[in-house]
Amino acid sequence: MPLWKILADWFDRFEQSYDGCYTKAYGFFRPVISRVVRKYLDCGNLHQGFARVRCPDCHHEYLLSFSCRGRWFCPSCHTKKVVQFGAHLQANVLYPVPHRQYVFSMPKILRVFFKYNRKLLGKLCQCAQQSLLEYFRVMLLIGVE
């Protein structure tokens, strides 16, 4: 709950002061940030909606509050999605062989270009994917004639 408490207490003030204090260093304040934080602050709040759940065997009832479904930001919702996605990958996508994770990072000197033009991030991901595909095709002789 420390993250929730900090955001509940300070986010409005941060949002109001962002343009004057942080725009030059970090770029403009994207509206999606405010939407994500507000949804997170309402996550699990019964006043924002709920479903009544009843056990078919013992007939015990309880209220299940709606979640924000905020992957990447809400710790509770993100954990649930990560577990679901991992199970899906294991059952439906990945072959039962060892796998590796690759992390692509960019030098700090180039980050300024991505700060003000966020669409470049999509292009960067495409380049990283193409680089990996080309590498594995050559190394595994897949699609090479």
Per residue in 115-135, pLDDT tens? 888 899 999 999 999 999 998
pLDDT digits (tens, 9 = 90+) for 22-66: 998 888 899 999 999 999 998 888 888 888 999 999 999 988 888
Sequence-distant (≥ 6) Cβ neighbours of residue 113 within 8 angstroms:
120
Count, residues in the chain: 145
Helix segments in 22-107, DSSP class H:
23-26, 31-42, 75-88
d(CA 93, CA 111): 33
d(CA 118, CA 111): 10
DSSP classification of residue 20: H
* Both structure tokens of 39: 């949804």
Amino acid at 69: R
pTM value surpassing 0.85: no
* Both structure tokens of 41: 């602050």
Contact present, 61 and 54 (Cβ < 8 Å): yes
> How many CA within 13 A on the CB side of residue 12?
4
